[in-house]
Homo-oligomer: A and B are copies of this chain.
Amino acid sequence: MEQIGPSTALLTDHYELTMLGSALADGSADRECVFEVFARRLPGGRRYGVVAGTGRVLDAIADFRFTDAELTQLEETAVVDSATLSWLADYRFSGDVDGYPEGELYFPGSPLLTVRGSFAEAVVLETLILSILNHDSAIASAAARMSAAASGRPIIEMGGRRTHELAAVAAARAAYLAGFATTSNLEAGRRYGIPTRGTTAHAYILLHDSEEAAFRSQVAKAGPDTTLLVDTYDITTGIDTAVRVAGPELGAIRIDSGDVGVLARKAREQLDDLGAKDTRIMVSGDLDEHAIAALRAEPVDAYGVGTSVVTGSGAPTAGMVYKLVDVDGRPVAKRSEDKASRGGRKSAVRRHKATGTALEEVVHPADTPPELGEHDRVVPIPLMRAGKPAGGLPTLEDARTRLRRGMVSLPWEGLKLSGGEPAIPTTFI
């Protein structure tokens, strides 16, 4: 189990507990409820979203416990009454959860997570579940676009410094899930086994008496198969010095500033002229999916991406909501302007052509599934049963594989970076 902390129970909105208190008092707390996580739309005309965070959600639910520390805080601040405190002291989620596995594509209205249990036990999980899914899916959705734009060239995630220190760890996980090769974040390496990479920053060059001295020191320590950062002063001089110091077996150079496309082309020529034909070129510095796509024709071997991936490249949250859709078997829905919801517990089937290309997301009442064609499949999987993790849950590597396959299944317009309609329509039956 991932250790988010001793307890995740206070990563919760105040109103979840006041609702709980009132519902316990009036007896409605025991009603059997279904809550559904979905996104009304994809941000910024994106063509698809990528589910991420589900694995973290399951761990966080397991850690959702009100110990003395949490109960004392709630008592001292009078958030709830003593009857509610007693109920919370015994809290263990005992319900069922189904949902889209990590790495699955999603579309507007896809039933991403379905939580079944008493109102009391399910309502208190709203904030925690949404926080994790909204963050991680936003990052994975942006990262998948970058991975697609990179067309197989590796990307290292190096944005930890641009986001909250622990969001950084989750962001590294989501980016890796979405096809990034490695991360700079050491804690993501520890928690999730993601390969970490890194060599030197400009500070290392500036620390030394000269660029050459810095390169010599780095090569002495790491060997010639390292990455030398060549843009601290003058790039052409930097490359000359790098090859002189490391020899033509130099592993890679990194360029972190300027018009990296032009600079990569010039650097490639220079490296080739110096006999360093196998020395790779890594570029970084404010890259997003559009910049990566624009570099397709350039002699770039690897990308370093920071700010844009950890901030969701313009869409830092996935905008998912957690809505009550069923009470004691009765569908419920609000009718608020612009925010109407669809009642009833749902599931989803993705229809495909015989070629494997996705055609349609069919969202249907859970109890009346449509007929499954030969190339169709049910999207949600069981995640928890009676409060315990379901068997055979997919791993992070499974999620990477699932997403790779999902991307291949998209119609070609669905891979466009420009804004437009979702790659496939959602049909509600």
Residues of A in contact with B (beta carbons under 8 Å apart): 4-5, 8, 10-19, 21-23, 25-26, 28, 31, 33, 35, 60, 70, 73-74, 77, 79, 119, 123, 126-128, 130-132, 134-136, 158, 160-170, 184-187, 189-190, 196-208, 217-218, 220-222, 231-234, 256-259, 285, 307, 310-312, 316-317, 319, 322-324, 327, 332-339
The answer on a CB contact under 8 Å between A184 and B257 is: no
Chain B residues whose C-beta falls within 8 Å of the C-beta of A231 in the assembled complex: 336-337
| A233 and B135 in contact, given A165-B60, A198-B18, A218-B22 (Cβ under 8 angstroms) | no
Chain B residues whose C-beta falls within 8 Å of the C-beta of A197 in the assembled complex: 14
Shortest Cβ gap from A363 to chain B (Å): 19
The answer on a CB contact under 8 Å between A33 and B207 is: yes
Report the Cα distance A332→B213, complex, angstroms: 15
Chain B residues whose C-beta falls within 8 Å of the C-beta of A317 in the assembled complex: 162-163, 307, 310-311
Report the Cα distance A100→B108, complex, angstroms: 44
Partner of A207, one of B119, B185, B336: B119
Partner of A217, one of B28, B202, B334: B28
The answer on a CB contact under 8 Å between B220 and A25 is: yes
Partner of A15, one of B201, B311, B324: B201
Report the Cα distance A144→B10, complex, angstroms: 26
Report the Cα distance A217→B202, complex, angstroms: 62
The answer on a CB contact under 8 Å between A233 and B335 is: yes
The answer on a CB contact under 8 Å between B187 and A10 is: yes
Q: Of all chain B residues, which has the CB nearest A3? A: B5
The answer on a CB contact under 8 Å between A26 and B131 is: no
Report the Cα distance A208→B60, complex, angstroms: 29
Report the Cα distance A233→B340, complex, angstroms: 9
Partner of A128, one of B165, B202, B311: B165
Chain B residues whose C-beta falls within 8 Å of the C-beta of A256 in the assembled complex: 336, 339
The answer on a CB contact under 8 Å between A25 and B221 is: yes
The answer on a CB contact under 8 Å between B15 and A190 is: no
Number of copies: 2
Partner of A18, one of B28, B31, B200, B258: B200
Chain B residues whose C-beta falls within 8 Å of the C-beta of A26 in the assembled complex: 217, 220-221
The answer on a CB contact under 8 Å between B10 and A132 is: no
Chain B residues whose C-beta falls within 8 Å of the C-beta of A190 in the assembled complex: 10, 70, 73
The answer on a CB contact under 8 Å between A203 and B77 is: no
The answer on a CB contact under 8 Å between B134 and A79 is: no
Shortest Cβ gap from A197 to chain B (Å): 6
The answer on a CB contact under 8 Å between A167 and B198 is: no
Most buried by B among A161, A196, A197: A161
Partner of A79, one of B35, B196, B322: B196
Q: Of all chain B residues, which has the CB nearest A324? A: B203
Q: Of all chain B residues, which has the CB nearest A27? A: B217
Chain B residues whose C-beta falls within 8 Å of the C-beta of A258 in the assembled complex: 336-338
Most buried by B among A162, A200, A206: A206
Shortest Cβ gap from A119 to chain B (Å): 5
Most buried by B among A12, A14, A35, A168: A14
The answer on a CB contact under 8 Å between B18 and A199 is: yes
| A221 and B21 in contact, given A199-B15, A258-B337 (Cβ under 8 angstroms) | yes
* 22 A-B pairs with C-beta separation under 8 A: A13-B158, A13-B198, A14-B186, A15-B184, A15-B198, A15-B201, A22-B218, A22-B221, A23-B204, A25-B217, A28-B208, A119-B207, A126-B203, A127-B168, A128-B165, A131-B162, A202-B323, A206-B332, A258-B337, A258-B338, A307-B319, A312-B316
Partner of A202, one of B22, B199, B324: B324
Chain B residues whose C-beta falls within 8 Å of the C-beta of A186 in the assembled complex: 10-14, 17, 73-74, 79
Shortest Cβ gap from A116 to chain B (Å): 14
